[in-house]
A and B are shown apart, each in its own frame.
Chain A
Amino acid sequence: MSQHRLLARQLRKLGLSSETPPAADDWQALLAVLERTYHDFDQDRYTLERSLDLTSEEMRALHQRERTAYDARLKSIFRSLHEPIWLKDPQGIYLACNQVFEAFFGVLESEVLGRTDHDIIPSDDADIFRQHDLDAIEQGRPVVFEEQATRVADGQRVLLSTVKTPIFDGDGQLIGVLGTASDITASRAAEQSLQEAASVFHHANEAILITDPAGDILDVNPAFTEITGYRRDEVLGDNPRLLQSGLHDSSFYAALWQAIIHEGRWSGEIWNRRKDGSIFVARQTISSIRDEAGNVRRYVGLFSDYTALKEQQLELERLVESRTQDLQIAKEAAEAANRAKSTFLANMSHELRTPISGIIGMISLARRHIGDPENLDRLEKAERSAQHLLALLNDILDLSKIEAEHLKLETLPLTLSMLAANLPVLFGERTSSKGLELDIQQDPLLAERRYLGDPLRLGQVLINLVGNAIKFSEHGQITVTSQLLEEGSNDDLIRFAVRDQGIGIPAETLPRLFTAFEQADGSMTRKYGGTGLGLAISKRLVEMMGGRIGVQSQPGIGSEFWFTVRLRHDVAPIDTGTTGADADAAEDELRRNHTGARILLAEDEAICREVMLELLGEIGLNIDSASDGDQAVKLAAENRYDLILMDMQMPHRNGLDATRAIRAAPTNRDTPILAMTANVFEQDRQACLDAGMNEHLAKPVIPEVLYASLLKWLENGRSG
């Protein structure tokens, strides 16, 4: 038996042999060695086992701490990412996910761990995700997928670019699949937009060229090639000035670039040259594209071949030019015709009125001096005829004026009582002589309300209607009413009505009543008198005043004629003029106070002059007469007058010019000058005033009106 070397050594040290039993001391020594050896063995074992346990425990604890720290670090990294990140084991069970994942899918990590996709999201999506996980595992390396998922917060489907990475531990064992996702919904949309834009660029009918800031061409589209003939590869890197035709001067291009620099774009027509040398005109826009810093990054030019259109445009312009010229000529002709018509009307008005006023005047004079009844009666009849003729003439002229749109309505203060007041004066005799009663009904409050309007024309309509009522009634009452239909803040709608108990109007006649030159029948005029134009004129006047006119009638019973007008409120006090009742008083007063006043009469028409002289002389006025404008001016220069009566239409110098000349001279600068004119057009009145005249009297002159005016101006002169 071989001995353990240590035992052999101990024996040797102690001097013992294995064959010979030891002496007692040696035996004790040997036992002591053995004792120590066993003791040492125990201790060694103890120390070794103890250190083994302790180090194991320490290593386990260390491992645990490091594991925890590692997990915490990993978690921290996980959490700090701003994209969703998750880890699933090879079976698809979630091991971890970060808060972005939580937010996206609307879950908590604690709810997700231990579960699979099929527990969290719709199974269609989950199937796809699982398949992708398996693909990544199979490939053993990171794989990129595109996946659609529903974002829980707003329910939107988003497109994700997902990277799935199989994760292995230190020994190469598969831990699971790590996933991260980027939301590429927006970038995909942007890509698509880009593709669409590229498509637009490619398919546009307009030529598009893009240059860099230096002006070198970066790209052109197929339309460019079509229009210019240059292929894309031929022009890349070149400057667009290769298209210049040479037909524009340098200032054109300078202005073009100024516009681009200052406003960012230029639009206009430009003549360019094609590759084959032919010229074309382009309708072009050049824009600059700037980056966020404001530096130009690109210039983009867009143009279409405008040549054909341009020629059409020029042709069109030529046509328009010639048409315009034609129209201009026609317009001038029409205006000339209109002026001619107005002048004709004016002249006719004067030409017709003058002799008639002469006739009436003469007859009026004659009546004053003739006593015998028979001749008086003839004269009366003659006067009536003449007056009828004058009325007819006035009506015709009125109607013509209205037709020619020369009639202008006045804006003067009026009251309804004022309008109505004239009626009894005018018609009192006629009604009583026919046994009729004239009843004027007015609301007292309405009667004094102040309005603005044309009292003359309103009166004219009323006179026409009342006159007709009297004419066509044999008995009964004629009632004139005024009624407030609408009260407004600025104006009132008033309804006037004239009701009679006359012969009435057959129904079939009613439509034609208001048309010119169509009385009920011609026999009416002959039987009842009148011009037959009154209603037509009334209708026009009422319509000019913004109103309407109408009639209701029953033959044998009576008729009611009505009309409505809008009258504006007036806040200014009324200046009531003199009424006819004062006329005689005027005559007397003139005689009393102004006998001997010097009057200059300028009138070229002999008959009129004679009439005027008579009228004026009866009052005892001192009259100088001139037969034309020049004479009037001459007389006015030599003599100071108290008043000048100036006819408008005179030879050599007309009334306006004469007045201006007189006004220019010192002698009669402030002398009242009254115009006498058959022209009652508004613009003529204004012309008189402008020339320096003080008032205007209509011809034929009504004595009362004449006297009243004379009185007024002579009184003025005296007091002033």
Chain B
Amino acid sequence: MQLETFRYTSRKGWDRQPDQQLDSPDTLVLVFGPADLNELQAPLSALRACYPQAVWAGASTAGEILDRSIDDDTLTVAVARFANTGLRAVTHSLAGAGDSYDAASTIARQLDAGDLRGILVFADGLHVNGSELARGFASALPSGIVVTGGLAGDGSRFAHTWVLGQAAPTSGAIVAIGFYGKHIKLDHGSAGGWDVLGIERKVTRASSNVLFELDGQPALPLYRKYLGERAGDLPASGLLFPLAIHSGNEHDEVTVRTILGIDEGQQSITFAGDIPEGATVQLMRANFERLIDGAARAAEHCHAGHTDEPVLALAISCVGRREVLKERCEEELEAVLDTLPPSTRMVGFYSYGELSPLRGNCCDLHNQTMTLTLIREDLA
């Protein structure tokens, strides 16, 4: 596998010239940028022209990652030319958030073929029910197939997001890339770093991924109370208090959910994934050290081992982490790269939700995590 990563900023332009030689039908181009592209449209078009044969996938972000740095309003690009791996791209337009499950099933069927090894998914961050999407993939795919990816972001504005495939950036869509062949290696890891906070509450009214009431009281005022003077920054400030959903099983596992939006009229809060009615939930708070450690653990879970081969690390971290870590956010990237092989090149973005296998499922929606996918070819 041949790999290049580079970035375009308005101030400085391209930090490296795109290498056209990498273009081929077996080339994957990943590109991440702000929800509002504006003057980045032109470089994007130029980039398109550089790699006309390649398979494209990208998403809007709440921050672009390139190795140890996070930046906004950039085009962050990774180009990987595979030697022995087949690629196929599918773009699907959602009929609505309720379509998420079916959309995933459809995509899965479209991509499912003999030697499919894994799928990379980027989905609209505001109009998709991420947990439904994950379930859809899980139900349609045989076990053993890795599905990773993330939900596109829009900074802390939560206004609109896009994904792109072979076509131009589109809202309300899903782009999925299938990886075929026995040489492609997809490793993954995901970790959080949030602690439950305070008393348990009961979800007394919720619908899909919208939370209306906790313990018989409207949910939104609770968040306002906790945010205090920062309540004005909702929904972004809501990222400080993701929701932990207790599974109720013997391991007392929790599922973490990120706020995506609020509805003043309904006094409701929209999350990135389902909030089951009757579930026991708790607020969470960030544990700064554990966030960083979490990122390192995510990298450890990838079991990259020692290699000199080029490794493309796709880091999809949660917008909530950036909101908390702020200036220190790059530390988690450092923690990741310190753990991964030196030949690793990392791109990625801060998302509104992360997709990665968990506990035997081929795909799960995660929130507030650092989710890593290592992409490389094993030529042996």
Residues of A that sit less than 8 Å from B by CB: 6, 9-10, 13, 33, 36-37, 40, 43, 46-48, 50-51, 54-55, 58-59, 62
On chain B, the residues within 8 Å of A10 by CB distance are 327
Quick one: which of A33, A43, A51, A62 contacts B197, CB cutoff 8 A? A51
Cα of A40 to Cα of B324 in the assembled complex, Å: 9
- Tell whether, in the assembled complex, residue B199 and residue A55 are in contact, meaning their CB atoms are under 8 Å apart: yes
Cα of A55 to Cα of B198 in the assembled complex, Å: 5
Q: Which of B165-173, B225-233, B267-275 contacts A (4 or more CB under 8 A)?
A: B225-233
- Tell whether, in the assembled complex, residue A48 and residue B285 are in contact, meaning their CB atoms are under 8 Å apart: yes
- Tell whether, in the assembled complex, residue B240 and residue A58 are in contact, meaning their CB atoms are under 8 Å apart: no
Main secondary structure of the interface of B (DSSP, over half): helix
Closest to B201 in A: A58
On chain B, the residues within 8 Å of A59 by CB distance are 198-199
B326 at the binding interface (Cβ < 8 Å): yes
- Tell whether, in the assembled complex, residue B226 and residue A54 are in contact, meaning their CB atoms are under 8 Å apart: yes
Give me 9 A-to-B residue pairs in the complex whose CB atoms sit less than 8 angstroms apart, sorted by A's number: A40-B326, A46-B228, A47-B240, A48-B285, A50-B228, A51-B198, A54-B198, A55-B198, A59-B198
Residues of B that sit less than 8 Å from A by CB: 69, 197-199, 225-230, 240-241, 283, 285, 326-328, 330-331
Say whether, besides A36-B327, A40-B326, A46 and B229 are in contact (CB < 8 Å): yes
Closest to B237 in A: A47
Cα of A280 to Cα of B228 in the assembled complex, Å: 108
- Report the minimal beta-carbon distance from B36 to chain A, rounded to whole angstroms: 23
Closest to A48 in B: B285
- Tell whether, in the assembled complex, residue B285 and residue A33 are in contact, meaning their CB atoms are under 8 Å apart: no
On chain A, the residues within 8 Å of B69 by CB distance are 13
Quick one: which of A33, A47, A54, A58 contacts B327, CB cutoff 8 A? A33
Cα of A59 to Cα of B197 in the assembled complex, Å: 10
CB within 8 Å: A-B pair count:
41
On chain B, the residues within 8 Å of A13 by CB distance are 69
Cα of A204 to Cα of B180 in the assembled complex, Å: 104
Cα of A677 to Cα of B199 in the assembled complex, Å: 136
Cα of A421 to Cα of B346 in the assembled complex, Å: 169
- Tell whether, in the assembled complex, residue B225 and residue A47 are in contact, meaning their CB atoms are under 8 Å apart: no
- Tell whether, in the assembled complex, residue A43 and residue B230 are in contact, meaning their CB atoms are under 8 Å apart: yes
Cα of A50 to Cα of B331 in the assembled complex, Å: 26
On chain A, the residues within 8 Å of B228 by CB distance are 46-47, 50
- Tell whether, in the assembled complex, residue A50 and residue B328 are in contact, meaning their CB atoms are under 8 Å apart: no
- Report the minimal beta-carbon distance from A47 to chain B, rounded to whole angstroms: 6
Closest to B330 in A: A9
- Report the minimal beta-carbon distance from B363 to chain A, rounded to whole angstroms: 32
On chain A, the residues within 8 Å of B285 by CB distance are 48, 51
Quick one: which of B199, B326, B328 contacts A58, CB cutoff 8 A? B199
On chain B, the residues within 8 Å of A37 by CB distance are 327
On chain A, the residues within 8 Å of B328 by CB distance are 6
Closest to B288 in A: A44
Closest to A39 in B: B326
On chain B, the residues within 8 Å of A36 by CB distance are 326-327
- Tell whether, in the assembled complex, residue A62 and residue B199 are in contact, meaning their CB atoms are under 8 Å apart: yes
- Report the minimal beta-carbon distance from A26 to chain B, rounded to whole angstroms: 15
- Report the minimal beta-carbon distance from B348 to chain A, rounded to whole angstroms: 19
- Report the minimal beta-carbon distance from B106 to chain A, rounded to whole angstroms: 42
On chain B, the residues within 8 Å of A33 by CB distance are 327
- Report the minimal beta-carbon distance from A48 to chain B, rounded to whole angstroms: 7
- Tell whether, in the assembled complex, residue B226 and residue A51 are in contact, meaning their CB atoms are under 8 Å apart: yes
- Tell whether, in the assembled complex, residue A54 and residue B225 are in contact, meaning their CB atoms are under 8 Å apart: yes
Closest to B229 in A: A46
On chain B, the residues within 8 Å of A43 by CB distance are 230
- Report the minimal beta-carbon distance from A29 to chain B, rounded to whole angstroms: 13
- Report the minimal beta-carbon distance from B338 to chain A, rounded to whole angstroms: 12
On chain A, the residues within 8 Å of B199 by CB distance are 55, 58-59, 62
- Report the minimal beta-carbon distance from A110 to chain B, rounded to whole angstroms: 33
- Tell whether, in the assembled complex, residue A40 and residue B327 are in contact, meaning their CB atoms are under 8 Å apart: yes
On chain B, the residues within 8 Å of A54 by CB distance are 198, 225-226
Extra contacts besides A36-B326, A54-B226 (11): CB < 8 Å:
A9-B330, A10-B327, A13-B69, A40-B326, A43-B230, A47-B230, A47-B240, A48-B285, A51-B198, A51-B226, A51-B241
Closest to A56 in B: B198
Could you say which of B198, B240, B283 has the most chain A C-beta atoms within 10 Å of its C-beta? Answer: B198
Could you say which of A13, A40, A51, A54 has the most chain B C-beta atoms within 10 Å of its C-beta? Answer: A51
Closest to B227 in A: A47
On chain A, the residues within 8 Å of B229 by CB distance are 46
